[in-house]
Amino acid sequence: GAVVSQHPSWVICKSGTSVKIECRSLDFQATTMFWYRQFPKQSLMLMATSNEGSKATYEQGVEKDKFLINHASLTLSTLTVTSAHPEDSSFYICSAVNRGRLTQYFGPGTRLLVL
Cβ-proximal residues to 28 (8 Å cutoff; 6+ apart), any chain: 2, 96, 98
C-beta of 104: minimal distance to another protein in Å? 6
Q: Of 23 and 81, which CB lies nearer to another protein in the complex structure?
A: 23
Least distance to another protein, CB of residue 101, Å: 8
CA 108 to chain centre: 11
Peptide bond into 8 cis (omega under 30): yes
Min. distance of Cβ 108 from another protein in angstroms? 5
32 by DSSP, 3-state: which? strand
The residues binding another protein (CB under 8 A) are 1, 4, 6, 32, 34, 42-44, 46, 49, 51, 57-59, 91, 93-95, 97, 102-109, 111
Does residue 18 contact residue 81 with C-beta atoms inside 8 Å?
yes
Q: Please identify, using beta-carbon distances, which residue of 83 and 103 lies nearer to another protein.
A: 103
Tell me the helix, strand and coil percentages in the chain, rounded to 5: 5, 55, 45
User: Residue 8 or residue 16: which is nearer to another protein going by CB?
Assistant: 8
Q: Which is nearer to another protein, 9 or 18 (CB)?
A: 9
Give me the least distance between CB of 45 and another protein, in Å please: 9
